[in-house]
Chains A and B, each alone.
Chain A
Amino acid sequence: MTHWVWAICLFFLLLSGLQIFNAHPALYIGQQSGFEFDNAVLRIGAVNTPDGPRGQTTVFGKTFDTTGVLGMSGSAEQPSFVGFPGAVTIPSFRDLATGRVVHFFFGWVFVGALFVWFLASFINGHLRRDILPRGQDITGLPKDVADHARFRFHHTRHYSPLQKLSYFGIFFILFPLIILTGLTMSPGMDAAWPWLLDLFGGRQTARTIHFGVMVLLVLFFIIHIVMVLLAGPLNELRSMITGWYRTSPGTLREEGDKP
């Protein structure tokens, strides 16, 4: 249940977040943004060249031509000079105010759903059984990595070590990190919890981490979808809806299983 709530939340948070990023398409390290000194680690913009305007992205001092995607997009007749193109922002046109309205609404829903999930998973044992990695998950990790690399998947009733570790990383590292770095960008929250600024090394570093975690979550999403497809999407989706899951032959039976 909560899965679909935060799937929808993350979708809106991502696209409205890119809208917000476009209002100032640069990321910095530290408390402030360097206008008279350079502490930027990412900068997306457009430059004039002898061949006309080009989109340009600078990451850690290395500059790439990203015309058509970042910095400059749209058609040749009607180029649009924005960081991320309108196809991946909400709204599709430049509108920071609306991006913020959408972002903060789904931010609240996301945090609420996560809270419900943690509470429910703690009570019903999902957290202890399926998410928190145990000793055998760590020792079983190399074999699981090798099996995944050969596309040899075992569908058992339990999550595999790699699965456990990635879900653990999502719920205990990436989700808390993206929420806390988001809060660090609020001047009100910085007054209430000044340790946020120290924890992340400044408001602008927090903004950079917020962006970085977003990239990791998008990568997770892609892998997640690929794995679901490889694992047999009908079986997986059926299990998410009904709780029924067909395992690989040879999986030991447990009490309560239906034939």
Chain B
Amino acid sequence: MSNLILNRRRLLVGSAALGSSLALSGCDQFDFLGQRGNPARQALEQANVLTYKAQRALIGEQTLAREYSASEIRQGMKPNGSTEPTTPEYMFLRQGNFANYKLTIKGMVEREVSFTLDQLRNMPARSQITRHDCVEGWSCIAKWTGTALGPVLDMAGVKPEARYCVYHCFDNIQKTLSGEIFYYESSDLVDAYHPQTILAYGLNDQVLPVSNGAPVRLRIERALGYKQPKYLHTIELVDDLTPFGMGKGGYWPDNGYDWYGGI
């Protein structure tokens, strides 16, 4: 009992000190949590690992994200992030209406394979009207058409030691002094093989426009918008995410966002 009292008292004193120091100096007290390598921040980030594990345990691997009726498409799909990549490689492909585009599957696979846009369009198609949730907080409902990623991965033959897909993109999302940073993302194989995970080439019954990721954008419907990489050109099967970018598994995760992205 005396332990409990001590604990209460300690907490009370702690929170009183916390409250009064805050009242004195505003909220920049906690700005150190913004430093990406700060140990306190890294401790708090463990909650995201817990969320990932809890959601993986709770949500069936095949459980679908909600699909909406056509009447719920009330507006165009809001473009966000990169909307017009400016690398010479992409501009060349765009000029040729993506006739020379190839999607490559490589890394920990039995055989590296590439598919043209026409080959992808000739594969079994899936259309889904889903809600796109941006990490900023807004949502937008649109119809996406494409071919499921799982069977495409199977054509390459994913090796058993592969754990993640890394999605490499054409868009130079950030220019720094040491060069351009290209958008990339990654997911585990559960998300990669999910039935709604498609290589989308169509949006709202039209060809996917450049502002939304032409020619091919990946959809991972049970995750936030930043897990839907646009301008996709290569999918690499790996067992470790640290060699890519800053090692966190994606452009936004490298910038401090949660890698899993299901919340």
- A interface residue numbers (CB < 8 A to B): 1, 4-5, 7-8, 11, 15, 20-21, 23-24, 26, 28, 31-37, 86-93, 95-98, 100-102, 104-105, 107-108, 185-192, 194, 197, 203-204, 207, 237, 240-242
Q: How many angstroms between the C-alpha atoms of A186 and B224 in the bound complex?
A: 8
A residues within 8 A CB of B262? Answer: 186-189
Q: Which of B7, B68, B139, B263 is in CB contact (< 8 Å) with A1?
A: B7
Q: How many angstroms between the C-alpha atoms of A173 and B51 in the bound complex?
A: 24
Shortest distance in angstroms between B173's beta carbon and chain A's nearest beta carbon?
15
Q: Which of B8, B137, B141, B257 is in CB contact (< 8 Å) with A31?
A: B141
B residues within 8 A CB of A89? Answer: 27
For B220-259 the 0/1 string (1 means CB < 8 A from A) is 0111100000000000000000000000000010011110
Does B99 interact with chain A (Cβ within 8 Å)?
A: no
Q: Which 10 A-B pairs have the closest CB atoms?
A: A188-B262, A97-B256, A36-B75, A24-B137, A33-B138, A105-B47, A186-B263, A105-B44, A24-B136, A23-B136
Flag if B222 contacts A207 (CB, 8 Å): no
- B interface residue numbers (CB < 8 A to A): 4-5, 7-9, 11-12, 15, 18-19, 26-28, 30-31, 33-34, 41, 44-48, 50-51, 55, 58-60, 63-66, 68, 72, 74-76, 78, 131, 133-141, 221-224, 252, 255-258, 262-263
Flag if A203 contacts B131 (CB, 8 Å): yes
Flag if A104 contacts B7 (CB, 8 Å): no
Q: Which of B8, B27, B131, B221 is in CB contact (< 8 Å) with A92?
A: B27
Of A33, A88, A192, A241, the most chain B CB neighbours within 10 A belong to A33
Flag if B55 contacts A23 (CB, 8 Å): no
Shortest distance in angstroms between B249's beta carbon and chain A's nearest beta carbon?
14
Flag if A188 contacts B34 (CB, 8 Å): no
For residue A89, which residue of chain B has the nearest CB?
B27
Flag if A190 contacts B66 (CB, 8 Å): yes
Q: How many angstroms between the C-alpha atoms of A203 and B28 in the bound complex?
A: 31
Q: How many angstroms between the C-alpha atoms of A241 and B60 in the bound complex?
A: 45
Flag if B139 contacts A101 (CB, 8 Å): no
23 contacts between A and B (CB under 8 A): A20-B137, A24-B134, A31-B68, A33-B140, A36-B74, A36-B75, A86-B26, A87-B26, A88-B27, A90-B33, A92-B26, A96-B136, A96-B257, A100-B135, A101-B258, A104-B258, A185-B137, A186-B262, A188-B55, A192-B60, A237-B12, A240-B12, A241-B12
Flag if B27 contacts A1 (CB, 8 Å): no
Q: Which of A20, A28, A192 is in CB contact (< 8 Å) with B63?
A: A192
